[in-house]
Structure 1
Amino acid sequence: MIDNRDAEKTGNSARSGVKPGSEPSRRFCVAPMMDWTTPHFRYLARILSRRALLYTEMVTTGALIHGDAGRFLRYHPSEHPLALQLGGSDPKELAYCARLAEQHGYDEVNLNVGCPSDRVQNNLIGACLMAHPGRVAECVAAMRESTDLPVTVKHRIGINGRDSWDALCEFMETVAAAGCRTFIVHARIAILEGLSPKENREIPPLKYDWVYRLKARYPHLEIVINGGIRSLAECHEHLHHTDGVMVGREAYQNPWLLASVDPELFDDPAPMASRQDALRAMFPFIEAELARGVPLNHMTRHLLGLFHGVPGGRQFRRHLSEHAHRPGAGLATLETALAKVHTDGTRAPISA
């Protein structure tokens, strides 16, 4: 039996990052990505952009209820605004985990209805839930009842067998009736059999116009577009038709893109003048993590794209790949890698 009173005992921080009673801006979001949007990458992302809304990896309700919840929910205070993405389909379990999210100080809780992996389908998690809009609505209602945090849903435009415009509208209307006001829409269907998760991010065609049509049809809902977005120029175009954009792989593989988000999309100053400055701003955090026993390569794997396209960037990546895993590797390893970069790495243009 799940008792929400237990959640209150596990909280370790007060909510921060947004004003009480308000919601974080979703004008620009960094997508939740398994094995990628860890606390180590999110720390880098926050150095590069103060305004981007960051998302955790998907965490299943089972992991939080039966595993080490503190480990899964841990984050650095600087990461705010930060959303927790949950995977699950049991309303009571999701309600409990949403309460945990609030107790741990997250700014939003998001339900994953987009992951096409076989592993999660077997537990009725992810994109397969698009075939069960009533169940998703029950989950949203239970989560909203248990927390004051915004409850959002990230989903596809359909799944094989339910990939019509009418089916998408039925899903949206059913879930919205349960109180969801924010939908993050990956503009592809998911093929639940025969394609890997990677193939599901590439093979089904993007239908941005469907997401635009959703915003036109449901102007009272917040619609954030996701899928295949690779530049801030594209973000500007999407923002003519939607309320926000969510960028995934490009933000991870070329994180310097994030250095242009604040000035280009929020009219705020860029937090960092150069890639070198950004990396050096990571040093105190990396040093603290090393002191906790975290191996250097667990952190540097998220830094490999920082000098993407820069002279010396390949040598930077090679040095870290060859040396960061070695016993005793530390900040000196990073200094040596940084010395191989032959540019000042100033802020990227919006098309980067």
Structure 2
Amino acid sequence: MSTPIQSLTPRISVAPMMDWTTKDYRFFARLFNPNIIMYTEMVTTGAILFGGANRHLDYNNEEHPIVLQLGGSNPKDLATCSKMAQDWGYDEVNLNVGCPSDRVQNNKIGACLMAEPDLVAECIAEMRNAVDIPVTVKHRIGIDNMQSYEEMLHFVDTVAKTGCDNFIVHARIALLQGLSPKENRDVPPLRYEDVYRLKQDRPHLLIELNGGVKTFTETQEHLKHVDGVMIGREAYHNPYLLAELGQLWNLDMPNRFEIMDQMMPYIAKRMEEGAPLSIITRHILGLFQNLPGARKWRQALSGGNAKTFSDVENAIANIKEAMQRTEDYIQNKQTDS
């Protein structure tokens, strides 16, 4: 039984990332820490309403607490999809007002909506009226010609009038005219002080910080100023960070091989369902990041190199052997000295 999402303190989450935070990754990530909040990839209202709800809304029961992130700007459609999310068992629903992709801009989805706070407020009001679960907003600190702290504060205040009290703030502006989506994740400088100031100025709101967070120590530092931290790419490339974050709740850190012991039955089940092995193993490549044998582990499981369940078992055995050799070498050196 997972902890109710409203009672999680602090709020630590894995960011919604297109093509990355699939249900296979989320199952894997959950094994590191029971208190991390999982987000789906952003799913547009159109995909849910016209592209097959099962395909876009299904998840593993083990993933709780889990949030559905919606992309859209039609208040009625967002309300309908929010109700579907609640009926599906999601713990929370989030509106994306941060994605800088030009594909979504054309459909008035994502960061471009920061320029229309009244429309976002209307969307959130409809969503909140449709459900009993929490409705939250993820946004940038600014876009294009709307880059000041005061403009972000106006956006937050406008939306907060609906009763929404939880904002996840990516501490970079998005330059929708001139930078690619990839560049918008790295090029605009991080302005953490703007997010800290927002919490200071609006202490009654739940403010979470997103952007560039890579370590447990950094997370601890941010938590001195805000209510929560959302981890992005680092949680994917170095998933053991999620285990290290368990220290925030005095949790024991699981062994990486224990993680794989729990992951293997899931891999077997997904293969029985017809899922290609490569779409599952691509999510576990970072498990041994910065450890002996990590490169061979990635090579063994990436690019379709692992074709059978036995290939995964062999990769585990090989990295276990590599780590043991390194440990023996270190012990021998210490003994010699």
TM-score when normalising by structure 2: 0.93
2:53 aligned with 1:69: yes
Residues 290 and 330 in structure 1, CA contact (< 8 A), matched pair in contact too? no
Q: Which amino acid aligns with 1:215?
A: K
Cα–Cα, structure 1 residues 315 and 183, in superposed 2: closer, same or farther, change >3 Å?
Answer: same
Q: Which amino acid aligns with 1:268?
A: L
2:317 aligned with 1:339: yes
Q: Which runs of 5 or more residues in structure 1 are unaligned?
A: 1-15, 347-352
Q: Which residue of 2 aligns with 1:87?
A: 71
Q: Counterparts of 1:179 and 1:17 in 2: how far apart (Å)?
A: 26
Q: Counterparts of 1:111 and 1:52 in 2: how far apart (Å)?
A: 19
Q: Counterparts of 1:102 and 1:112 in 2: how far apart (Å)?
A: 17
Q: Which amino acid aligns with 1:318?
A: Q
Q: Which amino acid aligns with 2:264?
A: F
Q: Which residue of 2 aligns with 1:311?
A: 292
2:126 aligned with 1:142: yes
Q: Which amino acid aligns with 1:250?
A: E
Q: Counterparts of 1:169 and 1:316 in 2: how far apart (Å)?
A: 46
Q: Which runs of 5 or more residues in structure 2 are unaligned?
A: 328-337
Residues 102 and 149 in structure 1, CA contact (< 8 A), matched pair in contact too? yes
SS at match of 1:50: coil
Alignment of 1:169-184 (within 5 A): 169-184=153-168
Structure index of larger Rg: 2
Q: Counterparts of 2:207 and 2:25 in 1: how far apart (Å)?
A: 26
Count of residue correspondences: 324
Residues 30 and 55 in structure 1, CA contact (< 8 A), matched pair in contact too? yes
The structure that is helix-richer by fraction is: 2
Question: Which string of whole-angstrom CA distances, capped at 9 and with x for unpartnered residues, describes residues 267-313 of structure 1?
Answer: 2233x2x2121112101111110000000000000011111111111
TM-score when normalising by structure 1: 0.89
Q: Which residue of 1 aligns with 2:135?
A: 151
Residues 88 and 125 in structure 1, CA contact (< 8 A), matched pair in contact too? yes
Aligned-residue sequence identity (percent) comes to 52
Shift of 1:22: 4.4
Residues 3 and 35 in structure 2, CA contact (< 8 A), matched pair in contact too? no
Q: Counterparts of 1:330 and 1:278 in 2: how far apart (Å)?
A: 19
Q: Which amino acid aligns with 1:332?
A: S
Residues 2 and 34 in structure 2, CA contact (< 8 A), matched pair in contact too? no
Residues 24 and 107 in structure 1, CA contact (< 8 A), matched pair in contact too? no
Q: Which residue of 2 aligns with 1:52?
A: 36
Question: Which string of whole-angstrom CA distances, capped at 9 and with x for unpartnered residues, describes residues 79-128 of structure 1?
Answer: 00000000000000000000010000000000000000000000000000
RMSD: 1.6
Q: Counterparts of 1:330 and 1:285 in 2: how far apart (Å)?
A: 14
Cα–Cα, structure 1 residues 318 and 22, in superposed 2: closer, same or farther, change >3 Å?
Answer: closer
